[in-house]
A and B are shown apart, each in its own frame.
Chain A
Amino acid sequence: MDHILHIFRKDGRRHWPEILASLVLLALYAHLNVHPWQKPDYRSFLFGRLFSLKSAVTPVLLLFWSFMIVRVVQSETLVGDRQWWITKPYDWWKLLFAKLFFVVVVILLPLFFVQLYLLHGEGFSIFRNLGGILGTEFALSVVLFAPSFSLAALSKGLGQAFLGLVAIFLGAWAIYWVTDNAPSGNMSNFADTPQSIQTVLLVSAIIVATLFQFARRKIWSSRGLIMGTFSAVLLIGHFTPYGKYVERAYPLVSNPPARISLRQPNESIGGHTPFDFSDNISLLIPLKVSGVAKNSVVLVDGMTLALKTSDGTQWSRGWFNQWLQIWSEDERESLSYQMKRKDYEKLKGSTVQVQIQLALREYREADITEVVATGSPFRDPRLGLCRLGTFRTSSVGTVECLKPIRSPGLMATFDPKQAQCYVADEDYAGPELTPVHAWLGPGDNGIPDPGVSPLQEYSIYFSQSKPWVPREDSSGRSTLVRLCSGTRIRLARPAEAQRFRLKLQLDNVPFDALVAGSF
């Protein structure tokens, strides 16, 4: 322990300017983030009105911490054979612990106190959220500090560390590209096992290579371990049969909780001519939906599309991500799918048979409560601290909330007939007004999110297919339904009821009518 403290004190003396800068940045971060709804958003002179100081300080802080970790670890460079310290009686594990101790004392401990301060500032319990704060710090350590530490251990000097950073970004891009271009790779996030293996492999390689480098300083073995693991992750990303994972996770059912069928495309949606320069053509597949239970929502997670023309030309691709919610009031929806231009050119002008598969999840309301939105910020145990949103482009309304550690999974509903809030001067509540819903996915997989702030700032967006209510006087003008003070909002935890898959088919569809435009 003496040597650990001795090395730590030396690093403290050496890196006091960086430590000071880190503390100043953290203090600035705390100042800008405490009571975020009570102060104006400062604008930086340097960037004009493009970036706010508040949004810039977090990435600057994270980058600076990475830089400081690289500097501190490289005080005793582990690469090379000319360093003074390597022929001194350092025990490798004491050196490692001294550097880890520096990260804990100089970064994590001040951050911990700032997080407590921010929580307390918004009136949230400190003790109830201690575990969550430690969880976010742990996650931040795994996601940012461990790779920074590893980068420092496997490079000599800031120049090499920067090149390493570039290599990391290129590697991450390569993994993304290879996975996304694999068959059905667009839905790789539904292949839990390969994703877990990839994550475990990468994290383990980072930790083992760092430990090995501290213990033995065999730089090419350590770098080789990282490169080998990266190659393995790349191969897993490319060869995983994502489609099979999706089909296994979403079984075909005979009695689905929603009735969904394909319908002939409407010229007002499709029938566009794509731009000449675009490589990807966007198709819109129209659906007719019904039968979703009142206390349920059905999510479309993914879709396959196969097209067949009368002359035998066929086109199909694997699973493609979707983000469609189907509520009980919904009747007509559409799904988006992308096609390469060369495929579009082969099919345009033809009549096709459309075959699709849908991967769906049904969620039902659980633990139902109610909250009344008020003009001033209001509290709710599930939502945290909330206020009515000021986001004017929203069709119906938003509720902006702050919640410690993690935003909740949520099914929220309000009845516009009871809300009586309209933007127009003359209120009108037509009989066709139906409940307005909001959906927040249950992201609780037990792993805390990495982050600097202990408060999750999230918005509940209420949307409805018919937020505009026509006037009775046939003036052609409409009234916008809005969420406002006094609106009762029904809140529920989304409980997953089942996953299922549907196969649908529709003949004699004019292909051009499916074309929505281009990207």
Chain B
Amino acid sequence: MNEVIRTESLTKKYRSLRALDGVNLDIREGSVYALVGPNGAGKTTLIKILMNLIDASTGRASVLGMDSKRIRGQAYTQIGYVSENQEIPEWMRVSELLDYVHPFYPSWDADLENSLLKQFDLPRDKKIKAISRGMKMKLALASALAFHPKLVVLDEPFGGLDPLVRDQLIEGLLERARESTVFLSSHDLTEIESFATHVGYLESGKLSFSEELASLRNRFREIELTFTSPPQLPQSVPSSWLQMKLASNAAGFIETNFDEEKTPENIRRVFVDVQDVSSKPMNLRSIFLAMARKGGEV
């Protein structure tokens, strides 16, 4: 599979602030890649560089095999981009916007446009300024999907939307995910978990990790240990153990590098008198909370 997005040591500085700090990223064709991280982590900056809306200070980025600095004009016939901050021409009606944008795309699919309008419950004749924020996001997504883009880029698409609208957006996206690569940024971890195939974590401009979601889930485990007597805090523990807690006859931590065989062995080496070891899979939210507390490095 080809890389649809690739960045090499991408850095963006705003005077003394490093919004991006040497980001290396590879996104494979067909994946649904979620870039997550706290507000101000640099997610929007990264997307804007990829879309050639702003320049990187150093480093390189390519999108669909093109240097991102050359993305303009006809390159956008293959990219559907939606951002929560976009200034849509609000003086138009919903149908006028779609009719206007349609001739720019040779691959525009009128049937798909109609089905997206129906799926998103978009009122054709309403002025855009009169519809809700959620409706505007759905309209922007419909206009970004109706031409079968190779790449869909979404910057915080779910921010501030009610659950019903979010579900509609995700449903619409998933239906198109078969033919497109999807790259989105969000801090809404619950939604992402349901459909992302890959995930990257960006904090303070640095990409802490970037991997398949399934592998991430396999890697992280909440470990609980039971003892017959109160355990002693060991002098040193493996670096992959986070948030070690001790109780009267129990202990717990988060293993960031879980292995069915090796992890119990390591535990018994550290806690010789451990009676029972149990492990629980973690959801994405718990994983990121744990990482955020540690400072991102895993």
Give the B-binding residues of A (Cβ under 8 A).
2-3, 6, 10, 13-14, 75, 77, 81-92
Residues in chain A near residue B104, CB distance under 8 A: 3, 88-90
Complex CA gap A92/B74 in Å reads: 10
Q: What is the 8 Å Cβ interface bit string for chain B, positions 105-139, against chain A (1 contact, 0 not)?
A: 10000000000000000000000000000000000
Residues in chain A near residue B103, CB distance under 8 A: 2-3, 6
Complex CA gap A75/B105 in Å reads: 20
Complex CA gap A87/B79 in Å reads: 8
Q: Which of B57-87 contact A (CB under 8 A)?
A: 72-77, 79, 81, 83, 85-87
- With A2-B103, A89-B104, A91-B73 known, 19 other A-B pairs at CB within 8 A are A3-B103, A3-B104, A13-B96, A75-B89, A81-B53, A82-B86, A82-B87, A84-B86, A85-B89, A87-B51, A87-B76, A87-B79, A88-B76, A89-B73, A89-B74, A89-B75, A90-B73, A90-B104, A92-B73
Residues in chain B near residue A85, CB distance under 8 A: 89
Report yes or no: B73 in contact with A84, Cβ–Cβ below 8 A. Answer: no
Report yes or no: A89 in contact with B87, Cβ–Cβ below 8 A. Answer: no
Complex CA gap A6/B103 in Å reads: 8
Residues in chain B near residue A90, CB distance under 8 A: 73, 104
Residues in chain A near residue B85, CB distance under 8 A: 82
Asked if B91 lies at the interface with its beta carbon under 8 angstroms from chain A, I say: yes
CB closest chain-A residue, reference B85: A82
Residues in chain A near residue B89, CB distance under 8 A: 14, 75, 84-85
Complex CA gap A81/B86 in Å reads: 9
The CB with the most chain A CB atoms within 10 A, among B76, B103, B104, is that of B104
Asked if B237 lies at the interface with its beta carbon under 8 angstroms from chain A, I say: no
CB closest chain-A residue, reference B74: A89
Closest 10 CB pairs of A and B: A81-B53, A87-B81, A89-B76, A91-B73, A89-B77, A89-B104, A84-B88, A84-B86, A82-B85, A82-B87
26 intermolecular pairs with C-beta atoms under 8 Å apart: A3-B103, A6-B103, A14-B91, A75-B89, A77-B87, A81-B48, A81-B53, A82-B83, A82-B85, A83-B86, A84-B86, A84-B88, A84-B89, A84-B140, A85-B89, A87-B76, A88-B76, A89-B73, A89-B75, A89-B76, A89-B77, A90-B73, A90-B104, A91-B73, A91-B74, A92-B73
Chain A interface SS verdict (over half) = helix
Residues in chain B near residue A81, CB distance under 8 A: 48, 53-54
Q: How far is the CB of A90 from chain B (nearest CB, A)?
A: 6
Q: How far is the CB of B57 from chain A (nearest CB, A)?
A: 14
Complex CA gap A14/B100 in Å reads: 12
Q: How far is the CB of A35 from chain B (nearest CB, A)?
A: 41
CB closest chain-A residue, reference B105: A89
Q: How far is the CB of A216 from chain B (nearest CB, A)?
A: 8
Residues in chain B near residue A86, CB distance under 8 A: 53
Asked if B101 lies at the interface with its beta carbon under 8 angstroms from chain A, I say: yes
Complex CA gap A90/B87 in Å reads: 16
Report yes or no: B101 in contact with A88, Cβ–Cβ below 8 A. Answer: yes
Using known A-B contacts A81-B48, A88-B76, A92-B72, determine if residue A10 contacts B100 with beta carbons closer than 8 Å: yes
Q: What is the 8 Å Cβ interface bit string for chain B, positions 231-272, against chain A (1 contact, 0 not)?
A: 000000000000000000000000000000000000000000
Complex CA gap A3/B77 in Å reads: 14
Q: How far is the CB of A158 from chain B (nearest CB, A)?
A: 15
Contact-residue bracket for chain B: 20 to 34
CB closest chain-B residue, reference A93: B73
Q: How far is the CB of B141 from chain A (nearest CB, A)?
A: 13
CB closest chain-A residue, reference B103: A6
CB closest chain-A residue, reference B83: A82
Report yes or no: B54 in contact with A6, Cβ–Cβ below 8 A. Answer: no
Complex CA gap A90/B72 in Å reads: 8
Residues in chain A near residue B76, CB distance under 8 A: 87-89
Residues in chain A near residue B53, CB distance under 8 A: 81, 86-87
Complex CA gap A85/B86 in Å reads: 9
Complex CA gap A91/B85 in Å reads: 23
Residues in chain B near residue A13, CB distance under 8 A: 96
Residues in chain A near residue B73, CB distance under 8 A: 89-92
Complex CA gap A88/B77 in Å reads: 7
Residues in chain B near residue A77, CB distance under 8 A: 87
Complex CA gap A4/B140 in Å reads: 23
Report yes or no: B87 in contact with A84, Cβ–Cβ below 8 A. Answer: yes
Partner of B100 from the list A2, A6, A91 (CB cut-off 8 Å) is A6
Q: How far is the CB of A303 from chain B (nearest CB, A)?
A: 55
Q: How far is the CB of A83 from chain B (nearest CB, A)?
A: 5
CB closest chain-B residue, reference A216: B72
Residues in chain B near residue A91, CB distance under 8 A: 73-74
Complex CA gap A83/B88 in Å reads: 7
CB closest chain-A residue, reference B48: A81
Complex CA gap A432/B17 in Å reads: 87
Residues in chain B near residue A89, CB distance under 8 A: 73-77, 104-105
Complex CA gap A90/B100 in Å reads: 12
The CB with the most chain A CB atoms within 10 A, among B72, B83, B103, B105, is that of B72
Complex CA gap A10/B91 in Å reads: 11
Residues in chain B near residue A6, CB distance under 8 A: 100, 103
Q: How far is the CB of B37 from chain A (nearest CB, A)?
A: 20
The CB with the most chain B CB atoms within 10 A, among A10, A77, A84, is that of A84
Residues in chain B near residue A87, CB distance under 8 A: 51, 53, 76, 79, 81
Residues in chain A near residue B86, CB distance under 8 A: 82-84
Q: How far is the CB of B252 from chain A (nearest CB, A)?
A: 45
Residues in chain B near residue A2, CB distance under 8 A: 103
Residues in chain B near residue A10, CB distance under 8 A: 100
CB closest chain-B residue, reference A86: B53
Q: How far is the CB of A78 from chain B (nearest CB, A)?
A: 12
Complex CA gap A14/B79 in Å reads: 27
Complex CA gap A89/B104 in Å reads: 6
Q: How far is the CB of A80 from chain B (nearest CB, A)?
A: 8
Complex CA gap A91/B77 in Å reads: 11
Residues in chain A near residue B140, CB distance under 8 A: 84
CB closest chain-B residue, reference A91: B73
The CB with the most chain A CB atoms within 10 A, among B51, B85, B87, is that of B87
Q: How far is the CB of B88 from chain A (nearest CB, A)?
A: 5
The CB with the most chain A CB atoms within 10 A, among B77, B79, B86, is that of B86
Complex CA gap A92/B75 in Å reads: 12
Q: How far is the CB of A155 from chain B (nearest CB, A)?
A: 15
Q: How far is the CB of B124 from chain A (nearest CB, A)?
A: 17
Complex CA gap A371/B76 in Å reads: 69
Q: What is the 8 Å Cβ interface bit string for chain B, positions 140-175, against chain A (1 contact, 0 not)?
A: 100000000000000000000000000000000000
Q: Which of B184-224 contact A (CB under 8 A)?
A: none
Q: How far is the CB of B183 from chain A (nearest CB, A)?
A: 13
The CB with the most chain A CB atoms within 10 A, among B53, B88, B140, is that of B53
Complex CA gap A1/B77 in Å reads: 18
Q: How far is the CB of A331 from chain B (nearest CB, A)?
A: 72
